[in-house]
Every structure is written in C-alpha cells, then in structure tokens.
Amino acid sequence: MPHETMLPENMPPGARREVPSSLFTQIFALVLATVAVAQLINLALLALLPPDPPQTVPLATLAEAILERNERALTFHRLPAAPFRPESAGPAAARAEAELASRLGRTADDIALDMTDVQGRKFVELYPRAGGPPVAALQGHFRLLIRERDDWLLVEPRNQQMFATRERQFLLLFLLSALAMLPVAWIFAKRLSEPFERFADAAEALGRDPRATPPDVDGPAEIERAAQAFQQMQKRLQAYVTDRTQMLGAIAHDLRTPLTRLAFRLESLPETDRARMSADVAEMEAMVRSTLSLARTDSEPLNRQRLELGSLLEQAADDLALTGRKVSAEAADQLVVDGDPIELKRLLTNLLENGEIYGKKVHARAWRDGTTAVIDIDDEGPGIPPDEAERVFEPFYRLERSRSRETGGTGLGLSVVRSIARAHGGDVTLTNRDKRGLRARVTIPLAPVGGRSG
C-alpha cells in the first residue's frame, strides 16, 4: 500500500513546504566557509608580498647533474619536437648554451635554453670567483633542450616541475587544510546539533504523550537551560492533566451512587414511564463507565511488553467475527511493538466495532512504514465531513446528534482510542476513502531491534 504523505493541519492541500537545512549542515558549512575565507585572506596577503628571488644554478653544477642523470634534482623527458624555438634565445642565453655544450661534449646547435625569471626577463648572471674567472649561472626558471639523434631531451628543475610558484604551494596548502578540517568540522557540528535533535525528539514525544520521560539533554549552557525549562513545563502539564483527569474520574465515580438509587426507585413506577426513564439511566451509566475508563487510560501507567501487533489485530477481528460481525483483518508484515496488550486490543476492538456499526462491513490491514507500524481499518459507510475528522476525538462529542441510543454511544470511545495510541507514542486519524467509506489509521512506533520493553 503506498504511503500517504500527511501535511500539517494548518497547510492547505497541495501546498509545499520548503524543508530547511539541518543545524548540523549549517554548522558544518559554516566551519568550512570560515576556513576558506581565512585561506583566501592569506592568499591576498601573499599576493602583496614581494616575489621570491629567482633561483640561481651554476652552469657547471647543471652540467654535472645532467651527465649524472640526477633525477632528484632534474626531470628528463624525451620529446619528438622542441616545445619552444631554440633560435629565440638572447645573447646571454647563447653564451650559456655555448658553455653548457662545451661541458656536455655537444655542439652549440645541440643546446637550446629557455629561461625567465618572475618578471619575465631572460638572462645569465656572472658571479665573481676569487682567484679565477667569474662563474656563469642561470638565474630564473629555465628549460633546457638537448638534441638527440631523432628527438629532443627536455631538462627542467624538479622543484620547478611540482611547485614553480608560491601560488601553487598555497593551493596545495589550502587543499590539505580543508581535508584536515573535514573531520574536525564534522565532530564540531555533530556535538552542537545532537542536543537540539534530542530536544526536538523530546518535544515531539511530549506532544504525543504528556507522560513521556522528560528529556535528559546535555550540551552548551543555553541548551541545558532550555532543557530545564522544558522539563518544568512538562511537569506542569503533567500535573494539570493529572488533576483534571482525577477530578473527572471522581465526579464520574460519585455519580454512580445516585444513579444506582435512581434505578432502584424506577422499579416502583408504571411500566410505560419506567421503560423510557430506565433507558436514560442506562445511558448515563454508560457515560459514567466511559468517563472512568478514560480517566484510567490517562492516569494509570501502561503494562508494556513485547508483542506482535498484527497478531493482536487478527485476534480482535476474530473475536468480533465470532459474534456475527462482518469484520476481517490481515497482517502484511511482522510488527513487533512495546505496548500494553489489553489497552491496544481495546483500541483495535473499539475501532473495528465502530466501523462495523456505521460502515456495515470492515476490513483491517497491518503493515510497516519505516520504523512505524500502521493499521488501516476501512469500512463501507458514508464517511464523515472532512471538517469533523478531528472534532470526533473530543470528549463527549457526537457526530450525529440524532443517533439512537443503540448506536450513538457516549461520545468518549474515540477519545479513549486516541489517548491509548498517544500513550504508546502513536496516533489515530480519520480520513474518507476515495470512493466510499471511512479509514481509521493507527500508527504505533515499532520496538527497537534488540531492545527491551519497559
């Protein structure tokens, strides 16, 4: 059965609500953005610094490294064609080419030098040497071509090959720092967002069941203060609900005695008057019993145990079918929940009976939706007005004022049903089916795998 998306009550049908990004995502992105901005500032400062002095390589040292094929200092690549024009070198480069050719045992035509410093100038420097002629050295970034038989050998400094400029070094530093910050940002965002997630779960649990366990939220001081305020609010709500429930139960209990006396005195009345008044007394007694039942549901703790909800549904349907009711049920999945078997069976029996009374025929189906057990109870009746779908759960509210006493009930049955469902962390809703009939949907959270009831 396809899952039906439930919109909030205050949203019109067909409306779409933008899903905000989670707090974890926002904090995670904020930390990474902070690192990125800091690195961009560093890059701007780097751009304002004077450039590095060009590298200086004596020609004798370069020739020795080439002859030794020193791959720690140089890179060597064979190319079918020259990547730059050998004849474009200036006079200084020509002198360097001649000296390199002499040291390498080549002719000047076999050597081509391309050299630029950070300002784009091509030059060769002569450095004085004590007791001898000056030393010629390459100053700047250079590439050297050596003609082989059928191709060219390209020689470049190895450090220039990987990181020729500080900008490239900065880019690597930026990437490494971003990678290093990923786990830090993840842990930081997770630690900050988890208390909010627990706080939201506690608020949702309170909305479903005022008797839910107060949240134990630790985290920043502001979160702990909010959790303490939430706990105080929950205690006040619990006290309010308990007081009103006890008062309602006390009133209903006290009404039983005068109703008993009234029923006894009716025996002395004439038969015609006695029948009508006895029916009124019976209806009042039913209301008192329902009120006491509602009070017990809202005040007494549940006797939770691990049970299979689909089997419980089929059992409730079979019990009603034995009395001649047109009720059937099926369970499509294994639905293990932690719940009170007596209260849950009472919930299911009430909904099945209501569906059979007003819908003539009922079929129930239990299935799984993620971590939630879902029971759909469908009847073939006329349905209800959509604007009454929530009001029918109000205590003593009866949809049809003209219903007979035989079918009208007391107006507390659905209130008790929803109270039981919410005490289990679930809910009950009513919706009209597409063609005909009403659907009562019960949702109960599934028991955690490997967990214990209690």
User: Is 263 inside any structural domain?
Assistant: yes
Concatenate the DSSP letters of all residues of 9-72 into one string: TTS-TT-----PPPHHHHHHHHHHHHHHHHHHHHHHHHHHSPPPPPPEEEHHHHHHHHHTT-TT
Q: Sort residue 363 into left (φ over 0), alpha (ψ -120 to 50) or beta.
A: beta
Q: Are residues 231 and 364 in the same domain?
A: no
pLDDT at 117: 52
Q: Name the domain count of the chain.
A: 4
Does the structure show a pLDDT above 80 at 358?
Answer: yes
Q: Are residues 312 and 446 in the same domain?
A: yes
Domain containing residue 221: CATH number: 1.10.287.130
pLDDT in tens, 67-96: 988 888 888 988 888 777 655 556 767 778
User: Is 171 inside any structural domain?
Assistant: no
pLDDT in tens, 280-289: 777 677 667 6
User: Is 126 inside any structural domain?
Assistant: yes
Q: Are residues 224 and 188 in the same domain?
A: no
SS3 136: strand
Does the structure show a pLDDT above 80 at 334?
Answer: yes
* Mean pLDDT computed over every residue of the chain: 75
Q: How far apart are CA 344 and CA 218, in angstroms?
A: 34
**Residues of the chain above pLDDT 90, percent:** 13
Q: Are residues 351 and 439 in the same domain?
A: yes
Q: How far apart are CA 204 and CA 202, in angstroms?
A: 5
pLDDT at 263: 74
Q: Are residues 295 and 306 in the same domain?
A: no
Largest separation between any pair of C-alpha atoms in the chain = 147
Q: What is the mean pLDDT of residues 254-278?
A: 73
Q: Are residues 316 and 449 in the same domain?
A: yes
pLDDT in tens, 297-312: 655 667 888 999 999 9
Burial class (CB in 10 A: 0-12, 13-18, 19+), 20: exposed
User: Is 244 inside any structural domain?
Assistant: yes
pLDDT at 259: 72
Q: Are residues 314 and 407 in the same domain?
A: yes
Q: Are residues 152 and 252 in the same domain?
A: no
pLDDT at 16: 46
Which among 236, 237, 215 has a CA at the least distance from the CA of 225? 215
| Contact between 320 and 354 (Cβ < 8 Å) | no
User: Is 9 inside any structural domain?
Assistant: no
| Contact between 269 and 390 (Cβ < 8 Å) | no
Which domain range does residue 188 map to?
23-50+181-204
Q: How far apart are CA 284 and CA 405, in angstroms?
A: 11
Which residue, chain included where needed, has tokens 């006493």? Answer: 405
Q: Are residues 288 and 352 in the same domain?
A: no
User: Is 448 inside any structural domain?
Assistant: yes
- Answer with the residue of higher pLDDT: 57 or 54: 57
According to DSSP, the residues that pair with 373 across neighbouring strands are: 368, 444
User: Is 2 inside any structural domain?
Assistant: no
Burial class (CB in 10 A: 0-12, 13-18, 19+), 327: buried
User: Is 357 inside any structural domain?
Assistant: yes
pLDDT in tens, 176-231: 877 887 888 788 778 777 877 777 777 777 666 666 666 666 667 777 787 778 77
Q: Are residues 376 and 401 in the same domain?
A: yes
Q: Are residues 342 and 412 in the same domain?
A: yes
Q: How far apart are CA 269 and CA 199, in angstroms?
A: 62
Q: How far apart are CA 142 and CA 122, in angstroms?
A: 9
Which among 267, 290, 286 has a CA at the least distance from the CA of 277? 267
Domain containing residue 402: CATH number: 3.30.565.10
pLDDT at 23: 74
- Which of 44-48, 80-84, 155-159, 333-337 is least confident? 44-48
When computed from its CA atoms, the radius of gyration of the chain, rounded to whole angstroms, is 43
| Contact between 362 and 328 (Cβ < 8 Å) | yes
**One-letter identity of residue 25:** T
Q: Are residues 157 and 137 in the same domain?
A: yes
